[in-house]
Structure 1
């Protein structure tokens, strides 16, 4: 286990960024599945969002030097915790990972290969233990270049962009952060909007992780009210405008 305040500024291959909160029941299994795929030049950056169970103790018990644990002083929500982890990362490739999933073997290499040519990669998932997936079509590699259609799919809710299945190159970081202050969920859609707006995203046909579906998932499983749906669409429109603004600014700086 490393103390984030005593780390040299050493470039790494990949940073896996995770937000934990009361995840003691599943976090060890997830970390084991990730660590099995990492090399010595990779890291896992975990921001614990003031858990009240023994999540932190279980992470510390692993005693793996590739794990960097940051403990938030107070609960800030999973979007801010992911943002904090991403900001603290040092890898050339930045992966988002949930605390309660299981990575499928070969995930890291498959996504790094995609990132060799595209700024953002998004993969599919299967449900741990079987069962029904959410009623959204799987991502298709053939749709990777259909950026306008993908943005429309985000608006109407049929593009299956889930943060647990996504990664991005470090060059995207200055556009990704700061995450807009009005965004309190769906940081994954913010990343997908940036990738599609920039015209640099790749979908993987294969599933690269097993997602555990349960009542504590941050992503809602049921239908939302019309009021909530409309409010979310307004946020998505704001994000699309903001993505264009930030990408233009980034282009002007280069």
Structure 2
């Protein structure tokens, strides 16, 4: 199996060489490395131009396209039927490709495979317990059913650890170039509808975490994109038989609810936002649901008394991850 490793980079001078070295030292032999320089303004271009290894193909973009589109461009130039993503500041262990290819050879039903990760700090501000907490969240996920379920809550896969079928990627519609941050989550929600995705239960990827990462600095934009993709995922998986928009009440902070309504309008109908602490609205939700006028409730992270609400909603006949969803909303 020939694998194309695709790496997009923008101003990655500090860690790009380490990332490249981790791929060029792979134990697996049948691969190429395609690096898309997304119009970097630091010394990234100089570092890339000094590479002479014939396995490496460099594409310099004259203007910044964003990571999603840069990856799409790189994959267009790929020769492999399987695409291994690699972020420009992370590290793959030396047997990553070999292990994932071997796993796929035994599981021909899979269209994508990730791995467990080790978190490393990208700056001095990330505490060790924060790294361990993130690791634990990602490294408890292996089987396809868990990944499909957790996609209803947030992103369960580490982008740079994933290898996917090029055919499935094309069928799914590629990366959405309109998304700047959560383009990986968006792709997973579409790929999972085409076939099975699993994680190798082994640390094959070192993921660098920053307090000043793009997603952390732009929490509003991150959550905005997640809401958009999540609402599509709910519509296209659970309610894909419906011609009308499923009707959901959203519960959370005022800013979170308003943002969700705006981002979900192409997939869901939201007849009511609830961001107060009182529970007086529960009889109304029960009545709507029993009469078939409501499909369910979406609880954002900021929802007060969330677990009690879930118990009440289940008593009304609602089911978790069908009528009841808890979704990540950051600090909103």
Tell me the TM-score normalized by structure 2: 0.61
Distance 1:168 1:243, change over 3 A: farther
- The answer for the alignment partner of 2:163 in structure 1 is 167
- Asked which structure has the greater CA Rg, the reply is 2
Alignment partner of 2:84: what SS? strand
How far the C-alpha of 1:216 sits from its partner, in A, is: 5.3
Instruction: Determine the C-alpha separation between the residues in 1 that align with 2:174 and 2:81.
Output: 18
Is 1:19 aligned to residue 8 of structure 2?
A: yes
Distance 1:105 1:63, change over 3 A: same
1:33-59 Cα offsets, whole Å, 9 max, x none, are 111116553111111110001112112
- The answer for the alignment partner of 1:236 in structure 2 is 230
CA RMSD of aligned residues (A): 2.8
Distance 1:115 1:188, change over 3 A: farther
Alignment partner of 2:138: what SS? coil
- The answer for the alignment partner of 1:113 in structure 2 is 102
Instruction: Determine the C-alpha separation between the residues in 1 that align with 2:237 and 2:9.
Output: 27
Contact 1:114 1:202 in 2 (8 A): no
Instruction: Determine the C-alpha separation between the residues in 2 that align with 1:74 and 1:242.
Output: 34
- The answer for the alignment partner of 2:180 in structure 1 is 184
How far the C-alpha of 1:242 sits from its partner, in A, is: 6.7
- The answer for the alignment partner of 2:137 in structure 1 is 137
1:135-158 Cα offsets, whole Å, 9 max, x none, are 4712446x5231xx533422322x
Distance 1:59 1:80, change over 3 A: same
Contact 2:69 2:177 in 1 (8 A): no
Aligned residues: 227
Distance 1:30 1:216, change over 3 A: farther
1:102-146 Cα offsets, whole Å, 9 max, x none, are 1112111111123332110121211226933364712446x5231
Distance 1:187 1:28, change over 3 A: same
Distance 1:105 1:181, change over 3 A: closer
Contact 1:47 1:70 in 2 (8 A): yes
How far the C-alpha of 1:239 sits from its partner, in A, is: 5.3
How far the C-alpha of 1:179 sits from its partner, in A, is: 2.8
Alignment partner of 1:128: what SS? strand
Instruction: Determine the C-alpha separation between the residues in 2 that align with 1:75 and 1:222.
Output: 19
1:143-197 Cα offsets, whole Å, 9 max, x none, are 5231xx533422322x421211111122213224443354333232233223421
- The answer for the alignment partner of 2:148 in structure 1 is 151
- The answer for the alignment partner of 2:89 in structure 1 is 100
Instruction: Determine the C-alpha separation between the residues in 1 that align with 2:59 and 2:22.
Output: 20
Instruction: Determine the C-alpha separation between the residues in 2 that align with 1:36 and 1:167.
Output: 18
- The answer for the alignment partner of 2:207 in structure 1 is 211
